[in-house]
Amino acid sequence: MTARLRDALRETAEAVPAYDVHDRAVATARRTRRRSVAAALAALALVALVPVGLRAGGAPTTAAATGAGGALPDRVSSPAFGELHATDRPRLGPASVIFSGQAPGLVWREEGSRVVAVGADSDRYRTFTVGYEARTGEDVVLSADGRRVAHGSGSSGEPRVTVIDLVTGRTRDLATGVAGSVTSTPVAWSPDGRRLVVRDTVAIDEQRTDYRSVLSLLPLGGGPRVELAVGPHSGGFGRTVAFAPDGRRLAYEVDRPAPLDSADGRRPADPTGATVRVSDLDGREVSSFTLPPSTWLAGKGAWTPDGRWLTLAVRQGYTWRLRHVDPANGREVRMIDPATGGEAGAARLPWVSGVTAIRLLGWTDAGAAMVVSYLPHPNAPARFDGPLEMDQRSAYGNVGTVRVLALEPGAATARTLLTAPDEVVAVDVADDVVRAGRVREADPPAGLGPRFWLGAGLAGVAGLAVWGVARWRRRRAYGG
């Protein structure tokens, strides 16, 4: 290379602007870090806005929160994937309906043990799980004002009853104090919500060769347990309990024997009916009577609104009807309308056909009976026009779905108030909602629930954090 060429190259190189590698690298790193922080803050803001949006759109109204409002939705659906739990914020407030079954979203650990509560005034859904195959209205029960729900302990762990307050989100475990109890199952609330009727299953010996049932009245505010009845363990013992409207008496079924076997292959005759007992709050028996075959205490709403008569559910083939009896002796009574001199009460109510059973929820202020009707499962192994106990008539494998019906005086047929998807097989309605008799057009939630979006947001934040740490370590490794 000649001296002239070397000087020319040097002059050209000196004329090229210098590139500050260090300063540019630092600036790029700072810019990347600012973008990462901004993205993380944006994700955190989205996560924070999820509960804010829920509070804005789903908070219960003042009327519902105080128990003054509430209407029955005309339909329910399976809960959204990622639906809020009963103890999550924002709180649900009083519920109008609870339901369970084996529809999508209701199965937990291979059992239909997830229960859904629906808000009193809008389609806000909340879920909770119990340790057994739940039959809402029978072993998972809603208080009269819809504020609290009680469920049992299942078949494992320490026997207890769990009470969930849907307004505060607090849960409370209650022990019945029944010696040797294996499970504790709530079956009815008192009208004022101060007492629960609980059925305990008790082993008769250490080897648990057999069991007996103990029915008790449990004060929630403290105080001694009141024993109502003790008898052989069976699906029907203490299954139906009804408080009088004033809360001073309660009626319950006990001592129903199992169906008789038929030696000649014919359909077995109906067994003798159960004994219905009426007791006061101290456990003193006021009266008792035996039910005829194919007859049951109608449900938690069995007392007439004036507290004078009891209502029974009577099966004739596939058809069911209600009738009133005197609680003192079980004799059928005919109610007379003083204005017209004609029949009133159950005698004027339509019959319900094509169902496995009906259960009386209560009476509306307009005089209609609100009942749950259990529709047969297409593949049910049982026949429902013959002898079969009530616990089998409402069993998961025998019921395809449920409807809530209004039996209105003088009507030819029942009117459908609430429908449910297939495999929703049990439902309970708050007494206050039953009495009001209001029905609203429902718009159940669908798609993905708030818990899914909250989890997705947290996962996004965690991913950004991992990415940021990885970049920081890479810069440290290269001396940046």
Other Cβ atoms less than 10 A from the Cβ of 68: the count is 14
Other Cβ atoms less than 10 A from the Cβ of 314: the count is 20
Residues 106 and 251 in one domain: yes
Residues 252 and 312 in one domain: yes
pLDDT band for 61, please (50, 70, 90 cuts): very low
pLDDT band for 351, please (50, 70, 90 cuts): very high
pLDDT at residue 461 in the model? 66
Comparing 155-169, 370-384, 444-458, the range with the smallest average pLDDT is: 444-458
Residues 443 and 459 in one domain: no
Q: Which helix or strand (DSSP H or E) is residue 354 part of? A: none
Residues 133 and 203 in one domain: yes
Q: What is the DSSP letter of 348?
A: G
Residues 237 and 350 in one domain: yes
Q: Give the list of residues 6+ apart from residue 447 with CB closer than 8 angstroms, or none.
A: 80, 81
CATH number, position 73: 2.120.10.30
Q: Please determine, for residue 248, whether its predicted confidence score (pLDDT) is greater than 80.
A: yes
Q: Tell me the pLDDT of the chain averaged across its residues.
A: 84
In tens, the pLDDT along 126-154 reads 999 998 999 999 999 999 999 999 999 86
Q: For residues 93-110, give the mean pLDDT.
A: 94
pLDDT at residue 92 in the model? 97
Q: Greater confidence, 23 or 105?
A: 105
Residue 283 lies in a domain: yes
pLDDT band for 479, please (50, 70, 90 cuts): low
Q: Please determine, for residue 348, whether its predicted confidence score (pLDDT) is greater than 90.
A: yes
Residues 392 and 475 in one domain: no
Residue 252 lies in a domain: yes
Residue 466 sits in which domain range?
Answer: 33-62+448-480
Residues 365 and 307 in one domain: yes
pLDDT > 70 in the chain, percent: 76
Looking up tokens 């609290």 gives 148
In tens, the pLDDT along 186-244 reads 999 999 999 999 999 999 888 888 999 999 999 999 889 999 999 988 888 999 999 99
Residues 119 and 244 in one domain: yes
Residues 71 and 150 in one domain: yes
Q: For residues 18-30, give the mean pLDDT.
A: 53
pLDDT at residue 466 in the model? 66
- Structural domains of the chain, count: 2
Residues 151 and 103 in one domain: yes
pLDDT band for 410, please (50, 70, 90 cuts): very high
Residue 1 lies in a domain: no
Burial profile 164-200: b = 16 or more Cβ within 10 angstroms, e = fewer: bbbbebeeeebebebebbbbbbbbbbbbebebbbbbb
pLDDT at residue 293 in the model? 92
Residue 19 lies in a domain: no
In tens, the pLDDT along 252-265 reads 999 765 554 444 44
Q: What is the DSSP letter of 382?
A: S
Residue 135 lies in a domain: yes
In tens, the pLDDT along 354-378 reads 999 999 999 999 999 999 999 999 9
Residue 182 lies in a domain: yes
* DSSP codes, 228-293: EEEEE--TTTT--EEE-TTSSEEEEEE-PPPPPP-TTSSPPPPPPPPEEEEEETTS-EEEEEEPPT
Burial profile 213-224: b = 16 or more Cβ within 10 angstroms, e = fewer: bbbbbbebeeee
Q: For residues 416-441, give the mean pLDDT.
A: 98
Q: For residues 2-29, give the mean pLDDT.
A: 60
Other Cβ atoms less than 10 A from the Cβ of 413: the count is 12
Residues 299 and 403 in one domain: yes
Q: Give the gyration radius of the chain's Cα atoms.
A: 31
Spatial separation of the C-alpha atoms in residues 298 and 370, rounded to whole Å: 11
Residue 278 lies in a domain: yes
In tens, the pLDDT along 288-321 reads 999 999 999 999 999 999 999 999 999 999 999 9
Comparing 183-187, 241-245, 250-254, 386-390, the range with the smallest average pLDDT is: 386-390
Residues 57 and 73 in one domain: no
pLDDT at residue 69 in the model? 60
pLDDT at residue 426 in the model? 98
In tens, the pLDDT along 268-293 reads 444 557 899 999 999 999 999 999 99
* DSSP codes, 391-429: HHHT-GGGEEEEEEEEE-TT-SS-EEEEE--TTEEEEEE
Residue 53 lies in a domain: yes
Q: For residues 59-80, give the mean pLDDT.
A: 68
pLDDT at residue 49 in the model? 44
